[in-house]
């Protein structure tokens, strides 16, 4: 069985863990008062930037390192569906952080983001209420397709592993 490279596996699981953490942080902060919310949203922003950087690195890695071939049992439509899900994942892993950046950077009062105590990053892009609203709406709307894709990705891997009896999970397991 062909496996992904160690670097590809590292990118996959690191990004997956960070996305899970960001979903959790956003949900925990949802109904909190503004002051309490900052404790969750500050790491949410830093993690979002991390996801953006790691995704760009993952795409560059993917462009220069071929993934392992799919098992022969994977039919044409399943291969196309999997490929489409991966492309949509890459798009969302770039667009979600950018819409978040736009949302906070264009509101005119964005505080610099504390990047895990290492440095701060000025997110300001200039005050523009329309862009801030566009970023906010885009960020919230895209959360649903991201969750759907995560579900499809996990269900597809589990289907191949347990129903089709292919060692599919091991391809991306450390």
| Residue pLDDT, tens place only, 115-167 | 999 999 999 999 999 999 999 999 999 999 999 999 999 999 999 999 999 98
Q: Per the structure block, which two tokens stand in for 94?
A: 């770039």
- 130 in a structural domain: yes
What is the tens place of the pLDDT at every residue in 41-99? Answer: 999 999 999 999 999 999 999 999 999 998 888 889 999 999 999 999 999 999 999 99
- 1 in a structural domain: no
Q: Which domain holds residue 126?
A: 6-172
Asked if 145 and 92 count as a contact pair (C-beta separation under 8 A), the reply is: yes
- 104 in a structural domain: yes
Domain count, the chain: 1
- 152 in a structural domain: yes
pTM of the model: 0.94
């Amino acid at each position: 069985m062909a496996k992904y490279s160690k670097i590809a596996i590292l990118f996959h699981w690191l990004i997956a863990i960070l996305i899970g953490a960001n979903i959790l942080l956003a949900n925990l902060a949802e109904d909190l008062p503004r002051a309490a919310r900052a404790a969750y949203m500050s790491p949410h922003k830093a993690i979002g930037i991390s996801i953006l950087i790691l995704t760009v690195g993952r795409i560059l890695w993917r462009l220069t390192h071929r993934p392992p071939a799919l098992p022969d049992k994977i039919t044409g439509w399943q291969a196309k569906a999997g490929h489409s899900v991966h492309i949509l994942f890459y798009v969302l892993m770039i667009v979600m952080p950018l819409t978040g950046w736009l949302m906070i950077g264009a509101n005119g009062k964005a505080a610099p983001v504390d990047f895990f105590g290492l440095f701060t990053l000025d997110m300001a892009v200039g005050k523009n209420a329309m862009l801030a609203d566009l970023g906010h709406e885009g960020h919230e709307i895209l959360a649903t397709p991201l969750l759907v894709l995560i579900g499809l990705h996990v269900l597809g891997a589990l289907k191949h592993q347990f129903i089709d009896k292919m060692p599919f999970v091991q391809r991306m397991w450390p």
